[in-house]
Structure 1
Amino acid sequence: MKNLRILTLSLLLTALATLVYAQGGKKSEEVKFKTSAVCGMCKATLEKGLAYEKGVEKATLDEDSKILTVQYNNQKTSVEKLKKAVNDLGYDADDSKATPRAYDRLDACCKKDAGIH
């Protein structure tokens, strides 16, 4: 009987600890940006470039829709910082325009006025 009480108490404490840990604050979030990306090279540049940003867990560009999906830790970065990172890579992120210097450094095929690929 004593062992049953200890086991029940142990399971209850484990369940409570798990619940408290899970409720401890959502750290991982997802944001989507409409970008000015136009080709596969843009995809590689954005995904690789964002991989080096603090707090970014994963970045994926859908080439057809030009939507960049970023999974990130909201305690290490913010949506504004992520937009700036995209801009600093030479691409627009929603209404936030690419940094002119970074845009000028893009290959010709990656510039939004290069046409459809």
Structure 2
Amino acid sequence: MKTLKAFTLSLLMVCLSTFSFAQSGKNGEVVKFKTSAVCGMCKATLEKGMAYEKGVSKATLDENTKVLTIQYNGTKTDVAKLRKAVNDLGYDADDSPATKRAYDRLDDCCKKEAGIH
């Protein structure tokens, strides 16, 4: 009977430690993209749009540097999918250009040319 209790307790401990390990990686990855964002409206569009992407826990655009920082779960998405999501919102992500159709639908103030004075 003692060995059954010891076995059950050991099994429980292994299960709990496995669960804790699996959770430790959640939202643990970060990627940064240099974007073509130019205004506060771009910030809102990118942050809100990325919030709908699977695996993304947080997206923040620094308007001064135009760098979008994304925290994500690497088991649910990857950098290529996140870059495509930024492009599909109408913005460049590093050297990857915005999807033309999405870019054309942006407000005039959000287009790259609007940022050039």
Aligning the two structures, in what range does the TM-score lie when normalised by the shorter sequence?
0.7 to 0.9
Aligned pairs, number: 110
Normalized against structure 1, the TM-score is what? Answer: 0.79
- Give ranges in structure 1 of 5+ residues lacking alignment: 1-9
Contact residue 55 and residue 77 of structure 1 kept, 8 A: yes
1:18 CA drift (Å)? 7.1
Give the superposed CA RMSD.
2.7
Specify the alignment match of 1:86 in structure 2: 86
- Give ranges in structure 2 of 5+ residues lacking alignment: 1-8
Specify the alignment match of 1:58 in structure 2: 58
Counterparts of 1:49 and 1:91, CA distance in 2: 11
Contact residue 53 and residue 85 of structure 1 kept, 8 A: yes
Contact residue 108 and residue 114 of structure 1 kept, 8 A: yes
1:114 CA drift (Å)? 1.1
Specify the alignment match of 1:41 in structure 2: 41
Any runs of at least 4 consecutive aligned residues in structure 1 with deviations exceeding 2 A, and if so which?
A: 16-28
Counterparts of 1:22 and 1:34, CA distance in 2: 34
* 1:91-116 CA distance string (max 9 Å, x none): 00001110000000000000001135
Normalized against structure 2, the TM-score is what? Answer: 0.79
1:79 CA drift (Å)? 0.4
Specify the alignment match of 2:26 in structure 1: 27
Counterparts of 1:111 and 1:19, CA distance in 2: 50
Counterparts of 1:61 and 1:108, CA distance in 2: 19
1:70 CA drift (Å)? 0.1
1:17 CA drift (Å)? 7.4
Counterparts of 2:115 and 2:66, CA distance in 1: 14
* 1:12-71 CA distance string (max 9 Å, x none): x97x87765554463330000000000000000000000000000000000000000000
